[in-house]
Amino acid sequence: MDLEILWFVLIAVLWTGFFFLEGFDFGVSILQFFLGKTEKERGTYISAITPHWNGNEVWLLTAGGAMFAAFPKWYATFFSVLYIPLVLLLLALIVRGVCFEVRHRSHVQKLCEACDIALAVSSFFIALLTSVAIANFAVGIPLDSNGYFVGSFFDLIQVPVLFSGLLGLSLFLTNGALYLTLKIEGELQTRVCKISKVAVTVSLALFALAASLTWGRSLICFVPLIFILLAALLVFARCLKAAFVMVALCTACSVAGLFFFMYPNVLVSSVPENSLTIMDCASSPYTLKIMSIVALIFVPVVLAYQIWSYYIFRKRISSRNIHSEV
């Protein structure tokens, strides 16, 4: 396999990791505000992701860094085109991080409640903006022959892109609800089980609509639909662990399908001949070779650390043992 194609696949894997791991992270952050009736209950929900949220964000940063190093022209064009949305995304990430830290250290109830609201709002916008951003990879944006953006802001929020954002948001909420069913116990878990049925049903309806709209393009469009259908059946059968796995597979297939449609492009233009291809944007062979060696060494280390982290904090939590778990 050529190194250019290898790094295209690796970047797809990094985005997949982000959408799954940070996906249920965002989902929990949004749901805690609606499921928790008191500050303590919301804190219990938040505790389910407290040990992991910072590590999960590494996937987004690594995906951006890999794009910059492996395909600098792709990175430069994409981040220039989506400058305003990505600045808003950065601000939301900052607000989200501050909310976790302030809430953990503060004992003032009103301040904790304000952090809960800000956490839910910032996570909502991050989930929506990242889904919209990655959809723009494949939908097509106005580029000239030199790869410069020649459209307006409204060209970045077309109906297919907004629909993809809504689809991603629903998948994040489903991820978050199912993750909480595996981490929370007691009455708080009962509430999450109810909302997980609603979330997976909405996701199923959206994926069914997406599959019908892309009918005839590729069978890969129907693979995520099959997994989310299985997840819905498993949720109503109360096989929650299996449902969580099905949603993970649905997420992976959705991102894989997006990159499959892009290939051999890295950024699709509304004028096909102006699309940026893998070969147009790739770094030098020497740079890609060095990056591959570094990735071969450090990626297994990062994966091992994250697996170990989830293993250490694998026990269920409740409002009774919240302080002993985190």
pLDDT digits (tens, 9 = 90+) for 138-147: 777 888 777 7
Q: Are the C-beta atoms of 22 and 92 separated by less than 8 Å?
A: no
- Which residue would you say has higher pLDDT here, 273 or 300? 300
Q: What is the mean pLDDT of residues 122-134?
A: 88
Please tell me the predicted confidence (pLDDT) of residue 218.
59
What confidence category does residue 325 fall into, taking pLDDT thresholds of 50, 70 and 90? very low
Among 7, 8, 1, residue whose Cα is nearest residue 267: 8
Burial of 130: CB neighbours in 10 Å, binned 0-12, 13-18, 19+:
buried
Please tell me the predicted confidence (pLDDT) of residue 326.
42
Q: What is the mean pLDDT of residues 111-124?
A: 91
Q: What is the mean pLDDT of residues 223-240?
A: 91
Using the predicted structure, report yes or no on whether residue 272 has a pLDDT greater than 60: yes
- Give the chain's domain count: 1
Using the predicted structure, report yes or no on whether residue 274 has a pLDDT greater than 60: yes
Q: How far is it, in rounded angstroms, from Cα 205 to Cα 69?
A: 38
- Of 101-105, 238-242, 258-262, 266-270, give the range with the top mean pLDDT: 238-242
Q: What is the mean pLDDT of residues 250-272?
A: 84
Please tell me the predicted confidence (pLDDT) of residue 199.
92
Q: What is the mean pLDDT of residues 176-193?
A: 88
Please tell me the predicted confidence (pLDDT) of residue 216.
53
The share of the chain scoring above pLDDT 70, in percent, equals 94
Q: How far is it, in rounded angstroms, from Cα 165 to Cα 159?
A: 10
What confidence category does residue 83 fall into, taking pLDDT thresholds of 50, 70 and 90? confident
Please tell me the predicted confidence (pLDDT) of residue 324.
42
Please tell me the predicted confidence (pLDDT) of residue 242.
93
What confidence category does residue 236 fall into, taking pLDDT thresholds of 50, 70 and 90? very high
Using the predicted structure, report yes or no on whether residue 318 has a pLDDT greater than 70: no
Using the predicted structure, report yes or no on whether residue 90 has a pLDDT greater than 80: yes
Please tell me the predicted confidence (pLDDT) of residue 51.
84
- Tell me which residue range forms the domain holding 218: 3-325
Handedness of CA 110, 116, 119, 124 (dihedral sign): negative
Please tell me the predicted confidence (pLDDT) of residue 188.
85
The mean pLDDT of the chain is 85
Place of tokens 């940063």: 61
In tens, the pLDDT along 100-117 reads 888 888 778 888 889 999
Q: What is the mean pLDDT of residues 288-299?
A: 89
Please tell me the predicted confidence (pLDDT) of residue 107.
77
Residues, the chain? 326
Please tell me the predicted confidence (pLDDT) of residue 201.
93
Task: Write out the H or E segment, with its range, that includes residue 130.
Answer: helix 109-139
Between the two ends of the chain, the Cα-to-Cα distance in Å is: 44
- Of 65-74, 129-138, 219-228, give the range with the top mean pLDDT: 65-74
DSSP state of 154: G
Please tell me the predicted confidence (pLDDT) of residue 77.
84
